[in-house]
Structure 1
Amino acid sequence: MDKRNAAGGLMQKSKVLLLAAGITAGSLMAWNAFGGQPLNKPAFAAGTENAVMNTVAVTGTGKVSVAPDIAYVSAGVSVTAKTAKEAQAGAAKKYDAVRKALTGTFGVAEKDLKTTNYSVQPQYRYTDKEGQVLTGYTAVQDIQISYRNIDKTGDLVDGLAAAGANRINNISFGTEKGDAYTQQALQKAVEAAKVKAMTLAQASGRTLGEVVSISENGAQVVQPVIERAQMKMAAASDSSANTVVDAGEVDVTSDITVLFSLK
């Protein structure tokens, strides 16, 4: 009986030793399969880290300054009367005269005229004795004019005033060739990014490699604007002089981010 128990114990110990040996062999095979790295760490992690370390990311800005080819004039009429109906009728009459001058005298197409504001507001007077007293109504109608004869923008402003427009809000200048100018700005942005990356590579004792990725951060068209206050100051200096409007330049900018490899 003791001999059988002893033999059974030896057999159990042998099975445990064989199982342990099998687990150890499997672990070694898995270790070798993953290049000697721990099983819970991706095999490609080291390569990815090296790839990231061997790059440089820079931003580049390109700018193109061009003469504007279109003016946007915001003007309007304002009429105050005792009743809202009278104010509306007066504004409508003035507005119609302004539109006829634009389409007739200045040859502005209907598609280049856009109503941007229309309002009728009550007007009040306040006194200590009577408090707030209704004095009438003011009707306002504003229009935006797209005008391509840039050199005649000052004449257009004078013509609007002569036709009955008593609101000249502002004038801005832009370009209708924004896409073409944006492409030029993008090319300059890429060149600027490359110069910056080369400087960084040389400073760190490396050589600039190929472009890994490139992304556009956005483009912007900066339009010069002449405000109403500026035009009033010019008119006050000499009431008999014609309005002179300086268009200046339109700036088109593009921003990009470029990732270069390093050698």
Structure 2
Amino acid sequence: MIRALLASTALVLAASPALAEDLNPTLSLSATADVQVAPDYATVQSGVVTRAATAQLAVQANGRAMTAVFEALRRAEVSSDDIQTSQLSVTPVYADRTEPNRNQYEIIAYETRNTVTAKVRDTTRVGNVIDAMVSAGANNIQDVSFGAEDTSVAMDQARRDAIASLLARARLFADAAGFELCGITRMSEDFARSPQPMMMARMDSASTPVAAGQLSISATVNADFCIVTD
């Protein structure tokens, strides 16, 4: 019975090339490549923070200030389609617990925050847009970021560069270690990262200095190579 089982097992191994291939040594490598592109728009997040004795007064004061900010954006040639409210909140302000004769749960004021996200399609005018918003009453600049509408060409180039680097590295390993490559058994790509700005200094005496820099488009490729050793 035992001999029959051994013979059957040997027959299955011989008839299943996939099982045999799994026993072959492999070389696993990964390569990353970056391509830089110029951004074609900027996103500015800014708004107004107001405080008042009552929630109603805080909202009213904030509304007046934000109306001026919206008008300033339009005067700065930002399209209405590119202006969007991204945050609106009204929260109580409690007494400082270290303040004498104050209950730490006592509400002493109300705070209203209103944030607008503006898409500036001319990256050379970002500083002017920020100045216009601040001049109109914005007192809370949260973020300035840059992006590109279409990064597909740059991403494909980054993929090509990553694959070329991967193949060159595989050949280097084979040459240095003395084995031969016999093909690629698996290839995958890591989840693409969002474009990251590479900031560069730029001074503009006419407005708030803002550097557009370059966007770095990154691609990472992984592969398993089957190898033949002596």
1:134 paired residue number: 107
Structure 1 position 111 matched with structure 2 position 81 = yes
Q: How do residues 78-227 of structure 1 correspond to structure 2 at under 5 angstroms?
A: 78-102=49-73, 104-126=74-96, 127-132=99-104, 133-224=106-197
Measure the CA separation in 2 of the matches of 1:215 and 1:130.
61
Q: Is the 8 A contact 1:172 1:225 kept in 2?
A: no
Counterpart amino acid of residue 7 in structure 2: P
Post-superposition Cα deviations, 1:229-261, rounded to whole Å, max 9, x if no partner, equal xxxxx9xxxxx9731011222111111112334
Q: Percent identity between the aligned chains?
A: 28
1:39 matched to 2:4: no
Shift of 1:181: 1.6
Structure 1: distance between partners of 2:175 and 2:198: 43
5+ long unaligned stretches in structure 1? 1-22, 32-36, 227-233, 235-239
Q: Distance in 1 between matches of 2:208 and 2:181?
A: 55
1:208/1:225 CA distance change after superposition, 3 Å: closer
Helix, strand or coil for the counterpart of 1:186? helix
Q: C-alpha root-mean-square deviation of aligned residues, in Å?
A: 2.8
Q: Which amino acid aligns with 1:65?
A: Q
* TM superposition outliers: structure 1 runs of 4+ over 6 Å: none
Query: Secondary structure, in 3 states, of the residue corresponding to 2:39?
Result: coil
Q: CA deviation at 1:95?
A: 1.3
Deviation of the 1:73 alpha carbon:
0.8
Contact 1:121/1:139 (CA < 8 Å) preserved in 2?
yes
Q: Indicate whether 1:250 and 2:215 are aligned.
A: yes
Residues 76-114 of structure 1 deviation map (CA, whole Å, 9 limit, x = unaligned): 111111211111111112112211221x21222233222
Higher helix share: 1
Q: Report if aligned partners of 2:198, 2:213 keep a CA contact under 8 Å in 1.
A: no
Gaps of 5+ in 2: none
CA distance in 1, matches of 2:23, 2:117: 52
8 Å CA contact retained: 1:173, 1:225: no
Code of the residue aligned with 1:124 in structure 2: it is Y
Which of 20, 27, 32 lines up with 1:49 in the alignment? Answer: 20
Q: Does 1:68 align with 2:39?
A: yes
Could you tell me the TM-score, scaled by structure 2's length? Answer: 0.82
User: Which digits, 9 at most, give the CA deviation of each residue in 1:144-191, with x for residues without a partner?
Assistant: 112121111111110111122111112111222222221111111101
> What is the rounded CA distance, in whole Å, between the counterparts of 1:168 and 1:179 in structure 2?
31
Change (3 A) 1:86 1:203: same
Separation of aligned partners in 2, 1:258 and 1:138: 54
Cα distance in 2, alignment partners of residues 198 and 138 from structure 1: 63
